[in-house]
Amino acid sequence: MGIGTYLALAAVLFGIGATGFLTRRNMLIQLMSIELMLNSVNVVLLAFNRVYPGNHDGQVFAFFVIAVAAAEAAVGLAILIAYYRIKKTIDTDDATLLKY
């Protein structure tokens, strides 16, 4: 298995995440789709670091991506709960709080 297989797989996983983010209205599932996209980026970083293993730059970057994803999930779910308190739904079509 060459690096091209890993890159193609990462592209497919990113596409799955992007499709989920664009076609779903459930805010929970949209947040999960963001996690899918962040994970696919980690695959690319680790695959390239495996090809050039002289340093750990890709793995360090993937480490920071994981940390940022954790922070993003915490804040995103907090926003989701605040939104649910106001609207009693998590349908993103009803997110018109800034519109009027």
88 sits in the region (left: phi over 0; alpha: psi -120 to 50; else beta) called left
1 versus 98: smaller Cβ distance to other proteins: 1
22 versus 96: smaller Cβ distance to other proteins: 22
| Minimum separation from the CB atom of position 95 to other proteins (A) | 12
| Minimum separation from the CB atom of position 40 to other proteins (A) | 9
CB atoms within 10 A of CB 79: 12
| Minimum separation from the CB atom of position 13 to other proteins (A) | 6
